[in-house]
Amino acid sequence: MSLAEITEKLHKAEDAAGRARGSVSLIAVSKKQPDARVEAILQEGHRVFGENRVQEAAAKWPGFRERFVGIELHLIGPLQTNKARQAMELAQAIHSVDRPKLARTLARLAQEMGTCPDLFIQVNTGEEPQKAGVLPAKTDEFVAECRGLDLPVAGLMCIPPVDEEPSLHFALLAKIAARNGLSGLSMGMSGDFEKAVMQGATHVRVGSAIFGERDYG
């Protein structure tokens, strides 16, 4: 699908949810996509992108930044503490804060650097053993811990289990965010972003629907 078609779908979902057009940020997930495809989307004027690996982002985005102004980069994948500094230098937002050790590292670096990207706490709403994220029952405590470290917690993020109705997970994430006074909700991907908007998503992370299949070669 084209960027224009996805944007149109997003606007229709915002309408259906009774929300203002443009209130949901469309993160174009460019991981594992050829540079030419990413450049085409930049040429169309889009500026908000997501990557899930620091190394790949570091190889790709400084070059694009020299040529296109106003790029907003979101890191949405698992983050190792030894990559935290590089992640903070590259990205305007990190969506995968999922453990105390990482939170403490980010806090220390934020003090040192005098700045910090917007942070989303990843919640493992499906309680899947192989998936990153704090458990729903532990999220309130972890949010408080991050706030205690003076981290700028913008909201929560989730990736629902593939075989379950995503709306239930989006609703759960929205509920946990609300009771913690958090307004940011990073949820919804190519297959379910319209449902996420209905449940209050503020950021949708859409990859293959915009760029086509990823190159896993």
Q: Does 197 bind ligand PLP (CB under 6 A)?
A: no
- In angstroms, the CA 93 to CA 43 distance is 22
- Shortest distance, position 209 Cβ to ligand PLP, whole Å: 6
122 is a contact residue toward ligand PLP (CB under 6 A): no
Candidates 159, 176, 177, 182; binder of ligand PLP (CB under 6 A) is: 159
The residue within the footprint of ligand PLP, chosen from 25, 81, 167, 190 (CB under 6 A), is 190
83 near ligand PLP (CB under 6 A): no
**Given candidates 31, 169, 195, 203, which one binds ligand PLP under the rule CB under 6 A?**
31
User: Containing H/E element for 148?
Assistant: helix 136-148
Q: What is the dihedral of CA 149, 150, 151, 154, to 10 degrees?
A: 130
Q: Is 117 in the site for ligand PLP (CB under 6 A)?
A: no
Strands 72-75 and 93-97, by their bridges, are parallel
Among residues 176, 189, 196, 197, the one that binds ligand PLP under rule CB under 6 A: 189
184 binds ligand PLP, rule: CB under 6 A: no
Question: Residue 10, interface with ligand PLP (CB under 6 A)?
Answer: no
Among 3, 28, 75, 76, binds ligand PLP (CB under 6 A): 76
> How is 18-53 classified by DSSP, letter by letter?
T--TT-SEEEEE-TT--HHHHHHHHHTT--EEEES-
Strands (E), the chain: 25-29, 48-51, 72-75, 93-97, 118-122, 153-157, 184-186, 203-206
Joined together, the tokens standing for residue 201 give: 């998503």
Binding site for ligand PLP (CB under 6 A): 29, 31, 52, 76-77, 159, 189-190, 205-209
